Amino acid sequence: MSSNLIQPHPVGAALVVGGGIGGMQAALDLTGAGIKVYLTDRGPAIGGVMSQLDKTFPTNDCAMCTMAPRLVEVGRHRDIEVLTLSEVQSVRGTPGNFTVTLGRQPRYVDETKCTGCGTCVSNCPTRNHVQPLPSAAFELEPEVRETVAAIIARHKSRQGPLMPILQEVNATLNYFPENVLRYIAQETGHPVADIYRIATFYSAFSVVPRGKYVINVCMGTTCYVRGSQRLMDKVSETLGIKEDETTPDMKFTLKSVRCIGCCGLAPALTVGNETYGKLTRQDIPDIVHKCQEAA
């Protein structure tokens, strides 16, 4: 940028876009240099992602301890004007003299009078309903969208439809691609974070692609005392993958399961819906071979 483009009389103000930890620190540094700062954030409050974290890498410092002093300082600083629920719509001008247009969403609260007591929150009839921000745009292949939409339509009228929807999608697609989760979130009105939390909570769900055959070695107590760890080692050795991994050809995924209720057959494992019981290590290659042939 050549210096002759800079306005002869630069305006002594800066706009910082994004009120996360980086934005806050930038704003504070700028004010330290004597510059007036406009700090904008799309969300209803500054703080950004760090406010959702417990600890930060690599020092494992408490996230709130790092950011709280900055939050307070930014909030109190006379030279920082915080503009939340605002998004940049256009930037015009040249270095030293920009004109920025911000689009602000309504807050329905007079910020100059609000003391932050929180009484309105606890009295709001829909207080526990998270008001999600419009989610990021995502693309979904038309066939996938159609499949998932059909599943959602089938269950939507039931009481508590989310689990049946997720179960059927998981069974149909074998795992949850990220955009499918976003789509389910959009269609069911749940925040993506909630859906993701459920999708990662249950062991039958997966957010990474799985092999055609999921081999579940039972690690229930009975199977364990009858030596299922050694079966697991053998399967792992035969397939050349560790637990929770998938073979590169996407045929097998190896997992352990907590008791399939076939204790009379211990040690046992399942491949899909097939159960194999009373196994010894010598049986493993045959089972794997059988699946390979079928596939």
Interface ranges with another protein (CB under 8 A)? 159-164, 166-167, 170, 190, 194, 197-198, 201-205, 219-222, 224-226, 230, 233, 237, 257-266, 268, 273-278, 280-281
CA distances from 152 to 46, 109, 147, 161 (A): 35, 37, 9, 8
Nearer to another protein, 73 or 243 (CB): 243
Q: Which helix (H) or strand (E) holds 61?
A: strand 61-62
Nearer to another protein, 90 or 159 (CB): 159
Least distance from another protein to the Cβ atom of residue 257, Å: 7
Cβ distance to another protein smaller for residue 64 or 259? 259
C-alpha distances (whole Å) from 11 to each of 15, 29, 40, 95, 233 are: 11, 17, 18, 10, 69
> Shortest gap between Cβ of 209 and another protein (angstroms)?
18
Find the shortest distance in angstroms from Cβ 132 to another protein: 16
Closest to another protein by CB, 106 or 160: 160
How many CB atoms neighbour CB 109 within 10 A? 10
Q: Name which of 87 and 243 has its Cβ closer to another protein.
A: 243
CB of 145 to another protein, least distance (A): 21
Q: How far apart are CA 100 and CA 89, in angstroms?
A: 8
What are the CA-CA distances from residue 246 to residues 13, 40, 54, 123, 268 (Å)? 55, 45, 31, 50, 20
Distance, in Å, from the CA atom of 74 to the CA atom of 70, rounded to the nearest integer, reads 6
Tell me how far, at minimum, the Cβ of 131 lies from another protein, in Å: 18
